[in-house]
């Protein structure tokens, strides 16, 4: 191994005593490749297993906690106990390759296509549509429905425990329901779930509390709980870096095992909301968090040199997303001193060799700009 890259292969011990074998994680990525009944497909399981050999943790594509929280066609389900065997099959294959299996859990809220949810009943914090063409106007959730969704996050966590996962990641990013409650753009409520910055944190924090209570009741201390967030929104009003730093400051004291920022570019800078706009979002986050909880960074890391520059910021963990689709052996190549062999553009002739499920492959090939070289 090139000594320049040694640091990314140092183990990291989480506050619950669990040791991650290195600092590299597979990022959660939607693949829309599950079976129509919500079970994980064999193609999908093979795809994950192929990418689980080098990383310390695999965070799965997100799964929904209630039927009206489904966000994508052919998304695998975790909203009922009947899904536990399917969930277990995926966890075992990931763990069989030497990685921790983390189930990402969410509710899509107003980002749910109306055709995918019961009776087309799309819901959100308030009746503000998603900022995209043809988006349905969501129905404002009643307080008792909010409490039911909080309970559902707990129930899905129990299923993850029973299915043998090493942990769950609460998906509070990318404009889905948890972020919709935190956002001043989509949360216009005047009850205890909306209004001030602190009140807009009520829903995310209630979900964390519920998940942690379920873990305490059904698992041991080794079970990992992480939280993913997005730093900003383009809308005005919308989430600013300042508001996210307030949230992150609170999250860092919530006894979570890691935080995970959602970024397209690791080195991106804030739009607004902080005094120093020349400092990267990652730098702002690390400064706020300190050593209270590990942060996972992500975003356009294609080469070993890219990863080295990212780790030079002091980030404890780094997630690889599209990079592992392009080259499933990315981590092993760096570990073996073969970083020059890393592939950085998708080979359109190698779907079978790369073990990419058909629906995901079609999305890659037919979405210009989504992948380098496509």
Torsion of CA 191, 192, 196, 198, to 10 degrees: -170
Backbone φ, ψ for residue 12 (5° rounding): -135, 125
Instruction: Just give the CATH number of 3-340.
Output: 3.20.20.70
Domain segments of the chain as ranges: 3-340
pTM confidence score: 0.97
Task: Tell me: pLDDT of 374 over 60.
Answer: no
Tens of pLDDT, residue by residue over 65-108, are 999 999 999 999 999 999 999 999 999 999 999 999 999 999 99
Range 11-29 burial, b when 16+ CB lie within 10 A, else e? eeebeeebebbbbbbbbbb
Question: For residue 117, is pLDDT > 60?
Answer: yes
- Is a pLDDT exceeding 80 seen at residue 371? no
- List C-alpha distances in Å: 197 to 70, 181, 323: 27, 10, 36
Mean pLDDT calculated for residue range 306-332: 97
Structure tokens at 336: 């073996």
Active site amino acids: 176
């Amino acid at each position: 191994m090139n000594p320049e890259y040694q640091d990314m292969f140092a183990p990291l011990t989480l506050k619950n005593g669990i040791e991650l074998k290195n600092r590299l994680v597979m990022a959660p990525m939607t693949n829309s490749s599950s079976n129509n009944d919500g079970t994980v497909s064999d193609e999908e399981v093979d795809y994950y297993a192929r990418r689980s050999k080098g990383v310390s943790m695999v965070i799965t594509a997100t799964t929904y906690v209630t039927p009206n929280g489904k966000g994508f066609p052919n998304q695998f389900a975790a909203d009922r106990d009947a899904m536990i065997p399917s969930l277990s099959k995926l966890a075992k294959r990931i763990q069989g390759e030497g990685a921790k299996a983390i189930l990402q859990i969410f509710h899509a809220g107003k980002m749910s296509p109306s055709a995918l949810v019961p009776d087309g009943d799309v819901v959100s914090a308030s009746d503000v549509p998603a900022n995209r063409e043809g988006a349905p106007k969501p129905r404002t959730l009643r307080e008792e429905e909010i409490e039911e969704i909080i309970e559902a996050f707990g129930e899905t966590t129990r299923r993850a425990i029973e299915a043998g996962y090493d942990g769950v990641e609460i998906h509070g990013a990318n404009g889905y329901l948890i972020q919709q409650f935190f956002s001043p753009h989509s949360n216009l409520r005047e009850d205890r779930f909306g209004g001030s910055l602190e009140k807009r944190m009520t829903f995310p924090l209630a979900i964390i509390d519920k998940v942690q209570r379920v873990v305490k009741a059904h698992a041991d201390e080794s079970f990992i709980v992480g939280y993913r967030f997005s730093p900003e929104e383009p809308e005005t009003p919308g989430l600013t870096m300042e508001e996210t730093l307030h949230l992150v400051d609170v999250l860092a004291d919530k006894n979570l095992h890691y935080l995970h920022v959602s970024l397209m570019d690791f080195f991106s800078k804030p739009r607004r909301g902080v005094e120093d706009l020349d400092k990267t979002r990652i730098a702002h986050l690390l400064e706020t968090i300190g050593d209270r909880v590990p942060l996972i960074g992500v975003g356009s890391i294609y080469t070993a040199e890219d990863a080295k520059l990212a780790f030079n910021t002091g980030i404890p963990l780094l997630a690889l997303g599209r990079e592992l689709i392009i080259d499933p052996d990315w981590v092993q190549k760096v570990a073996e001193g073969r970083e020059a062999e890393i592939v950085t553009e998708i080979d359109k002739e190698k779907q079978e060799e790369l073990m990419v499920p058909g629906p995901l492959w079609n999305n890659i090939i037919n979405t210009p700009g989504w992948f380098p070289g496509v």
